[in-house]
Structure 1
């Protein structure tokens, strides 16, 4: 008799920068340690049981409250806040009271190494992030030749580059994923369209922009921020650069004004 296939996971990765995530920080600010405890507990239940979602009915809320020795009211309130705040997908929650998210589904597929699929009715991932399970025993009639492989690699690289450029200032499957600020700086400088646009808007050379990025990295390290979401890093740097330039402009004007007094 075949052993039943385990649906859930025994463990899941928790990013070390989770408390730098603005959504989690808002949860912590509004509900304190209780809010984060409930959120992480719900994540554990999702990955442990169904693997990538949970049905949030009255029984689920009761079980969470009972296990954590908290009131059902606070559990329900925190879950609602997590949905509204984007930690869980609002789309499927509003339709069927399902707790899930694109990052949860992506991690589940990665953990299962493509040997499973996500129910299309509750799938909230972007199409390019979906990993479909391979069909057993089905293979191509012949392997692609060298020229075809080379073409596929080039197309893939172009798509990856385009995706990286487009996702810097837009929401994407990387939301909630934290990356080293030094790695983000490297990716940032490789984004030619972004560098050109900012250089023109801020009237600064690429070399000058790289110097500003180094200053920004130093600033983040002084406030103990060593990893950020790509979009958050981009927005934060742009705002910091604008404020920095404005401050420099004010100082320059003050210096010029003083020099005129001595003319």
Structure 2
């Protein structure tokens, strides 16, 4: 009887800058330090069983929570946040699978390095195929093909040069955009920590008539708005002034006014 073919891996590699990954940092900032353990546990289950994906069902949060030692609700929240920031592919998640392009690329490389043959990623889960819907296949040049003329060769080189320049420009733009996004995220998180200082926090709540709970909620929403707009407030003065203006304009929730106590007849003096 033929031995069943193994699809999972015995081990997988992890980037040394895993903790510096902007997606991981966003998950950690939103869900707490235990989120790192949940992410590692998910990756272990993905690579160990199917190799490049795991099925999403109602039991998965419980299984992950039980292995890591967190609550089921926390595990579910971390998984949802991971999808939201793009750590896992959202479209696949909506179809009941947890995977990503990076996971699939790492899986293919691991199989290639271990000289596994006939490794096939299911068509409906494949995230590393080209725009035509097929996995890219290199077609070798045969000796029967007609060689290019000098004029055609020159035109081809000019076109190729223009294409390469365009690609380089796109890469530079993406790098600048990514760098700006990282700078904004870094800066607003540092500025937010100033509001954790006890004296400043107390004075701000008193002056702006806002509860400490609403202050934390407002700061989180404020930072999310800044990040989505890509607006970098470099100084504490600028950050604080803009935040106060938003609170004053009623953009974020303020403390509810307590109802005046109606005196009872026994409290009224004649």
Name 2:51's counterpart in structure 1.
51
Aligned residues: 176
Q: Which has the higher contact order (CA 8 A, sep 6+)?
A: 1
Residue of structure 2 equivalent to 1:80: 80
Helix, strand or coil for the counterpart of 1:57? coil
Distance 1:89 1:4 in 2: 29
Q: RMSD in angstroms over aligned alpha carbons?
A: 4.2
In the other structure, the counterpart of 2:127 is: 124
Match of 2:178 in 1: 232
1:129 and 1:164 mapped to 2: Cα distance? 23
- C-alpha distance in 1, partners of 2:8/2:143? 35
| Unaligned ranges ≥5, structure 2 | 184-270
The 3 A distance-change label for structure 1 pair 100 and 22 is same
Give 3-state SS (helix, strand or coil) of 2:173's partner. coil
Candidates 163, 166, 170, aligned match of 2:170: 166
Please tell me whether Structure 1 or Structure 2 has the larger radius of gyration of its CA atoms. Answer: 2
Which residue of structure 1 aligns with residue 111 of structure 2?
Answer: 112
Deviations along 1:98-144, one digit per CA (max 9) or x if unpaired, are 1111111111112222742222212233517999599xxxx99x778
1:247-258 equivalence runs, <5 A: none
Distance 1:60 1:68, change over 3 A: same
| Counterpart-to-counterpart distance in 2, 1:161 and 1:44 | 40
**Which residue is 1:258 aligned to?**
none
- The C-alpha deviation readout for 1:23-44, integer Å capped at 9, x for no partner, is 1111111222211110111011
The verdict on how the C-alpha distance between 1:103 and 1:144 changes in structure 2, with shifts beyond 3 A counting, is farther
Q: Which residue of 2 aligns with 1:179?
A: none
How far apart are the structure 2 equivalents of 1:163 and 1:23?
25
Give SS of 1:127's match.
coil
Change (3 A) 1:105 1:60: same
Determine the C-alpha separation between the residues in 1 that align with 2:8 and 2:176. Answer: 29
TM score, norm. by length of structure 1: 0.53
Deviation of 1:57 (Å): 0.7
Q: Note the alpha carbon deviations across 1:217-239, whole angstroms, 9 max, x for none.
A: xxxxxxxxxxxx896358779xx
Match of 1:192 in 2: none
Please state how far the C-alpha of 1:93 moved relative to its aligned partner.
Answer: 0.9
Please tell me whether residue 3 in structure 1 is matched to residue 3 in structure 2. yes
Q: Provide the residue aligned with 2:186 in structure 1.
A: none
**TM-score when scaled to structure 2?**
0.51
Q: Using the alignment, how far apart are the partners of 2:119 and 2:161 within structure 1?
A: 26
Q: Structure 1 233/57 Cα, relative in aligned 2: closer, same or farther at 3 Å?
A: same
Q: Provide Cα deviations, 1:136-177, integer angstroms capped at 9, x if missing partner.
A: xxx99x7788x69xx9xx99999777655534434xxxxxxx
